[in-house]
Amino acid sequence: MDILVILNDPPYGTERSYNGLRLAKALLKKDAAVTLFLMADAVICAKHGQQVPQGFYNIELMLKSVIRKGQVILCGTCMDAGGLSGAEIVEGAARSSMNELAQRTLDADKVLIF
């Protein structure tokens, strides 16, 4: 099954992106094909070098786990608006576009939005 997960919220401050990543990881364990699309404030989830307090979840590490088995793409316009360059994102994530999101939405069996 091809599943598109769209994240909109920042990595910290709410738990929506955290919960979307938890679900994406669980779906990958069930052998689903998962594409994670980060838009709006969620593009910051892909910033490398995140430093979090000990014992606190680390969105960067969770994202890397998804990248190992799935795909992670980011809204390029949102990256520009947030001042996030391609050199600042985790390895394996890629800049994308609304046109690609539209096509992946049409191609997906299910679309989940957080």
pTM, full prediction:
0.95
Token digits of residue 37: 């699309």
Give residues with Cβ within 8 angstroms of 106, minimum separation 6: none
User: How sure is the predictor about 112, in pLDDT bands with cuts at 50, 70 and 90?
Assistant: very high
Q: What percent of the chain has pLDDT over 90?
A: 99
Residue 58: helix, strand or coil by DSSP? coil
Give all domains of the chain, ordered by start, each with its CATH number: 2-113 (3.40.1260.10)
**Sign, Cα dihedral of 94, 97, 100, 106:** positive
- Looking at residue 73, its pLDDT comes to 98
Report pLDDT digits (tens) over 36-58.
999 999 999 999 999 999 989 99
Q: What is the Rg, in whole angstroms, of the alpha carbon atoms belonging to the chain? A: 13
Query: In degrees to the nearest 10, what's the CA dihedral of 11, 14, 17, 20?
Result: 160
